[in-house]
Amino acid sequence: MTPTSLWERYCQSLCLCPEIGLSLDISRMNHDDGFLERMEPAMQKAYAEMAALEGGAQANQDEGRMVGHYWLRTPSLAPRDDIRREIEETLERILLFCHRIHSGGITSQNSGSFTRMLIIGIGGSALGPQFVADALSSPNDPLKPHFLDNTDPDGMDRVMAEIGDDLARTLVIVISKSGSTKETRNGMLEAMAAYRQRGLDFARHALAITGKDSQLDRLARDQGWLERFPMWDWVGGRTSVTSAVGLLPAALQGIDISALLQGAAACDALTRRTETSSNPAALMALMWHYAGNGRGERDLVMLPYRDRLLLFSRYLQQLLMESLGKELDREGRIVNQGIAVYGNKGSTDQHAYVQQLRDGLDNFFVTFIQVLRDRDASSLEVEEGVTSGDFLFGFLQGTRTALHDKGRQSLTISVERIDPFTIGALIALFERCVGLYASLININAYHQPGVEAGKKAAGAVIELQRELRDYLTAQGRAMTAGEIAAGLGRSERTEEIFAILRHLAANPERGVVVERTSAVEEWRFSMGT
């Protein structure tokens, strides 16, 4: 394509959305002129399904649930008055609670004001809060956020060491929709132990965000924690960032959550448009469809050129891959759908994997995010007339062109600046896009049947570990994994038994001792004395 026709293609296909200070450029995708027209009937069907979803239909059919994250920022849209009221009341309670924390109305046990918060959660109960916290942090944040988002003991030690003596002035927010996620439970128990060790009353530092009457909800109620905020079954974990899950930590950090909600609501309003050329979520969904043939054949590489957006791709990984990565379509046919997401930030990633994007496998499309405002203050000239921000911009443009020269495809989202409003808009843009794309490929984006298998298998490993320890204690001698498995009548699980014992033996305080040889089948395990 000649430079002039590229410019024409850019002008024709640029979707300008001044309402949210955002534009989407699809000119560097390779679709032909007729593609959008051919897809229009499918797109119209997707709009109709989205309207039904927003109207309160049981869009998550497999679980018999409504899908209501859009109501969170426009409560008047909620299909029932009680839902609308709950959303509004929760928001008021969040603002009031934050006011009391910030103003010293609620103090820590030793009467000091809270200066840090420890957020314990995983998946949708961590990724959104982490993204927002990092994207919108400032040196003046009234509460500094820390996260326990795993059951990694060493990881937890690191976080607790960072908090150190400030634990007494740290608010703990335990987030779990189900209230029974093991990683989160473990993080909470470890945090409880840390408070106990310092003679502090955990309940006076803790609050919960969870489903009504969940295990966590009952614990928080029985122990008299500071507050409990609701999660509703009509909000999925990965789309919960505009519920208390994302709003409460953000507000405590001093982030303007009203602006974040306004940005999301404004983006929702314009991505409800059924005129595809002016709907950036629809255009993006169509580009995903085009790029991957409607079968996810290309990976989505997220390249935001702004450090503050580093965690966006991690957040989107769950939003897209848990929503779209499905074995069956809505009619129960095997389709094995999905779109893989990876990426960190530009220009940093140019020095890592962009080589492959330009010269290697052509199995991706890039989504660049450009932030027009470089920084709040004026910039140093690193070369005559040129700033660091000019370089960042130049690297984005350069990579986009270099990829295009090799026929490699990209989308470019431009936003004015990074602020709460824009972050809200970006979140809403991708949520809507995922929903529309799911309709285009006929899958349920709102359940996650595949996640259970790994959790169940992990439960079985923990059970087996208990059995093993009892067995080895009773045997009182050194045995190979094979002998133990046979003794337990579980020969089919010999490898698992070996792995469990090897792990225990690597942690001397767990009491399992190993005598090693060069052949693993000869390793002999016993309970130490």
Please report, as ranges, the residues that interact with ligand G6P according to CB under 6 A.
122-125, 176-178, 181, 184, 237-238, 322, 448, 451
Do residues 526 and 478 lie in contact, with contact meaning Cβ atoms separated by under 8 Å?
yes
Report in angstroms how near the CB of residue 48 gets to ligand G6P at its nearest. 27
Q: How far apart are CA 93 and CA 111, in angstroms?
A: 22
CB of 49 or CB of 322, closer to ligand G6P:
322
Query: In 441-480, where does DSSP find H-type helix?
Result: 451-475
Report in angstroms how near the CB of residue 325 gets to ligand G6P at its nearest. 11
Report in angstroms how near the CB of residue 357 gets to ligand G6P at its nearest. 29
Q: Which residue, 148, 139, 144, is CA-closest to 116?
A: 144
CB of 410 or CB of 448, closer to ligand G6P:
448
Q: Which of 455, 463, 503, 515 is catalytic?
A: 455
CB of 184 or CB of 409, closer to ligand G6P:
184
Do residues 346 and 304 lie in contact, with contact meaning Cβ atoms separated by under 8 Å?
yes
Would you list the DSSP string of 358-370?
HHS---EEEEEEE
Q: Is 455 marked active-site?
A: yes
Query: Phi/psi of residue 333, each to 5°?
Result: -85, 145
Q: How far apart are CA 328 and CA 337, in angstroms?
A: 8
Question: What size, in residues, is the chain?
Answer: 529
Q: Which of 37, 351, 383, 492 is catalytic?
A: 351
Report in angstroms how near the CB of residue 180 gets to ligand G6P at its nearest. 7
Report in angstroms how near the CB of residue 130 gets to ligand G6P at its nearest. 12
Report in angstroms how near the CB of residue 126 gets to ligand G6P at its nearest. 8
Per-residue b or e along 221-235, where b marks 16 or more CB atoms closer than 10 Å to that residue's CB: eeeebbbbbbbbebb
CB of 121 or CB of 296, closer to ligand G6P:
121
Which residues lie below 8 Å from residue 359, measured CB to CB, with a gap of 6+?
A: 406
The CA angle 132-242-348, to the nearest 5 degrees, is 25
The CA angle 453-455-459, to the nearest 5 degrees, is 115
CB of 28 or CB of 228, closer to ligand G6P:
228
Q: Which of 54, 183, 227, 322 is catalytic?
A: 322
CB of 125 or CB of 370, closer to ligand G6P:
125
Q: How far apart are CA 136 and CA 114, in angstroms?
A: 20
Burial of 132 (0-12, 13-18, 19+ CB in 10 A): buried
| Residues designated as active site | 322, 351, 455
